[in-house]
Structure formats: C-alpha cells, structure tokens
Amino acid sequence: MKLEKRDYDAIVVGSGPNGLAAAILMQQNGLSVLLLEGKSLVGGGMRSAELTLPGYLHDVCSAVHPLAAASPFFETLPLAQHGLEYLYPEIAAAHPFDDGTAAILTKSVVETARLLGADEKAYLKLLGPVVKNWPQMAPDILAPLHFPKHPLAMARFGLDALTPATFLSKRFRTQAAKGLLAGMAAHAIQPLSNIATSAIALVLMSQGHLKGWPVPKGGSMQIGTALASYFTSIGGKIVTDYYVESLNQLPSAHTVLFDVTPKQLLKIAGHKFSSVYKWQLERYRYGMGVFKVDWALDAPIPFKAESARQAGTVHLGNTLEEIAYGEQQIWHGKHSEKPYVLLAQQSLLDPSRAPEGKHTGWAYCHVPNGSERDMTGIIERQVERFAPGFKDTILARHTFNTAQFEEYNPNYIGGDINGGVIDIGQLFTRPVLRWSPYKTSAKGLYICSSSTPPGGGVHGMCGYHAAKKALSDIFNIKVNSL
C-alpha cells in the first residue's frame, strides 16, 4: 500500500512491545508519530490465533508475562482502560521431577522457601533482598549500562546475577531448589555454565513473588492491542501491512526508530552507516532457536504432581544436571533427546482460550539456530514423562520450527526469539560497543529492538530508552526518569 504524503516528527518501524513503547513515549511528548507494521496486526510476538481447531485460541509466541506486568514504563500507562486484563495463577511456575514431586514458585517468598525444606534459609537469603529492593532497582536493571541510583543494592544483585547458574546453585542442597533455579535460568537460552545466566532466574523469581506470572485475558495479543489503542487515543497513527525493506519507503521524518535486529537494520539502512558501525553490526551474534508446539486438548494436562496441574507455567527438565547438559548440547549445535521444555497452561486461567471443558497447551524447547528438525515427538515424550496420559488428551497440534518462526517474525533470526544471544560477549555491547546502544552512526536513525539493552522480554524498555535518547538528541526534549 502507499502512505499518504506528509511529514512526521518520528517514524517507528515495527510494532512489537519495544516499537509500541517507543512510539507511545514520543507521541506523549507532543510529536507526530507514525508506526509501521509489516504484518496485518500489531504486536510482534504478542499475537494470538486459532492455530489448531476452531475455538482454541493459542499464543503464537509470548504467552506468560511477568515482565510486562512489572515494566516500569507499562505501569505508567492506562492499559486497563484499553481492554488489558491480567489473570494470575496461584502457582506462578512449577518444576516437576521424575519422582512425582515438584518445586513451585508462589506469590509468597516465605512459602516458596518453606516448601524447599533444607534450603529455606538459603532461598530467603538469595531472593529476599532482590524482592525487597526490586522497586528501587528495576529502572536500573531494565536499562543500558550506567551508574545506578542505588549502587549498594545493585552491587549486591550484580554479584549474584553475573554468576553462572551452575555455580549459584551450589548455595542449595536439595534437588528441588537446584531444579527450580535451573528451570528459571534456562530462560536465558544459553548454557547454564555461562556468566550472567543467574540474572534472568533472579528477575523471574522475584517477579513471581512481587506480582506473579500473569497471562492476558483473551490472549497475548491483548497487550499489543491495548498499547496500540492507547497510542492512537493520544493521536498516534498506525499503518499495517507495510513491510519496510528500504529507507526510500519511508515518508519524511526527523527521526526513525527501528524495532528490528541488526540483520534487518543492515539491509534497510546499512548504506547510511559508517564502516566501523557496519562492521560491528555484521558481527552481531544470534543465539539458539526454538521449536514450538501448540495443542488443542480434551482435558487438562494430567501432571503427576498436583501443584503442576495448578501452575500457569511448568518447566520440564528434571534435575539441574539434566537441564544443564541439554542446554550445553544445543549450544554446540546438537539436539537434546531430553530437552528443557517451557510449557504454559493458559486455559486453566482463561476459559476464553478453549471451548467449555476443553483446554490448550503451549510449549517449546531450544534447538540449534536454524534447525529444521521436527521436535514434536521429543517434546511430547517429555510432557508424557511428567504427565502420563497426556498424549491421550491431544485433539490437534500445530508446530513452528525455526524457519517458520522467522517467517512469522523476521526479528526471530534462525528461531532466536531473544533478538540475539545475551552472553557475556554481548551483555554490555548489544548491539555494538557504543556510548549509546540505541543511536546508530547515521544521524536521526535509532535501533529500539530487543537487540538493545535490557534485551528480550515483553517489557518495552528497549523502546522506551531508545525513544528517550532520540527525544533528547533530535528534539532537545528531556524525559524524566521512571
């Protein structure tokens, strides 16, 4: 389609959570903003669809949203007035074991610790300070590298967060506590022996205690829909079905922010960049991919552990050692026969996801980047391992391999849903080593995707910080800190 001929103050390319956040902040500050989306619906990874059977609503990518509920920027927006409602399970996450038991993450840090038995004190010592200090630390943690406002709290958090999960686990004695930590750390999508894999575990566990791990009523698409509704209500303009491959496709604007990863940014605007900046972008590294299965189910998943039947999210992988071994294999280009599986049970909380009495299941495992192997059978065997009889409940299934994920969302290069690996080599240099990670070498062009700090997750903070930088650079508008 053709765009109307007019000038804009700012254009944002891509309507994932970061693109929407960037567009909203700029529109809030009195600019005329155009948001362009290549697909027919906004949202990026926040979309839902009837992938299996009529009446069964599945989240295409993101499913459970502790970081969206905890986002310092999203918290400032009246999203409930635009239709967003979060549903919270009593048990945020469960980690079942072969013996039929499970470690669980509940709203209460004290209860979670107590259920870990011999590791009660160790858990409270590790998570207690993070939970207590999170409100002060959140704007610093979910931001680019800078001197923190609360240096002592951040220093204590950083010492634990930068530790490999396999090393941090040595603070615990029980299989339950070690497994619970491993399941959380595996969200990092890299070997648990890597530096800083404890960071995501500490953040996710603390959010489970502070707010919980919610699912949006009506599907993950409701987050994108609410953000878009608020954006247009304050005067923003959205154009969908407009896939940008060149700067020549864009109307005139003072600044353009790209919710894309380095690979697409190079294709769109590489000719505008300095040789050094271009060289750095070309060396940006993508991480492991994912293989995903959605199920239409005749009944709830029959986990052996009762707590797993009540959890919104279930981490399948048994012991820390088994999970660590599997993630290490995948990192080195192999497929695990017993992979870590991240599973969500949205229909337990949201009856609108399936016909009455029926349910949905959502799960993925990690695979080598660009893998074409069908992991359906392996994933289903892992679920059956902890939930005997699961296969008998399957009415229909839908799968996504890494290529299909990238086709669905071009930001998922080789199936990498994190916008690039967040290991120590890129933790402080996403996407390149620069004073500002959001500002490119071309005046007026910025990158605001999950390839920038603080990285992947539905929180919008990459977009917020990129827009804040552009507002200051181009329009001399200073935004107060959150």
Task: Going residue by residue through the chain, which has 482 residues, state the pLDDT in tens, using 9 for 90 and above.
Answer: 567 767 899 999 999 999 999 999 999 999 999 999 999 999 999 999 999 999 999 999 999 999 999 999 999 999 999 999 999 999 999 999 999 999 999 999 999 999 999 999 999 999 999 999 999 999 889 988 888 888 999 999 999 999 999 999 999 999 999 999 999 999 999 999 999 999 999 999 999 999 999 999 999 999 999 999 999 999 999 999 999 999 999 999 999 999 999 999 999 999 999 999 999 999 999 999 999 999 999 999 999 999 999 999 999 999 999 999 999 999 999 999 999 999 999 999 999 999 999 999 999 999 999 999 999 999 999 999 999 999 999 999 999 999 999 999 999 999 999 999 999 889 888 999 888 999 999 999 999 999 999 999 999 999 999 999 999 999 999 999 88
| CA angle centred on 105, ends 101 and 108, rounded to 5° | 125
431 near 422, Cβ under 8 Å? no
pLDDT in the model for residue 379: 98
CATH-assigned architecture of domain 86-116+157-214+288-408: Alpha-Beta Complex (3.90)
Question: Which class for 99: exposed (0-12), middle (13-18), buried (19 or more C-beta within 10 A)?
Answer: exposed
Phi, psi of 459 (to 5 degrees): -140, -20
339 near 317, Cβ under 8 Å? yes
DSSP-assigned letters across all residues of 13-38 = E--SHHHHHHHHHHHHTT--EEEE-S
Phi, psi of 292 (to 5 degrees): -120, 145
pLDDT in the model for residue 400: 97
pLDDT in the model for residue 5: 67
For the record, the structure tokens of 419 come out as 């916008």
pLDDT in the model for residue 230: 98
What residue segments make up the domains of the chain, in order of their start?
86-116+157-214+288-408
230 near 77, Cβ under 8 Å? yes
pLDDT in the model for residue 246: 96
For the record, the structure tokens of 118 come out as 């011999």
Would you give the distance in Å from CA 372 to the centre of its chain? 23
pLDDT in the model for residue 147: 84
Alpha helices in 234-365 (DSSP H): 262-269, 275-282, 306-310, 320-331
Residue type, position 393, single letter: T
E strand residue ranges, 126-214: none
Strand order in the sheet with 237-239: 237-239, 33-36, 8-13, 253-258, 445-447
Q: Which residues of 432-457 are buried (b: 16+ CB within 10 A; e: fewer)?
A: beeeebbbbbbebbbbbbbbbbbbbb
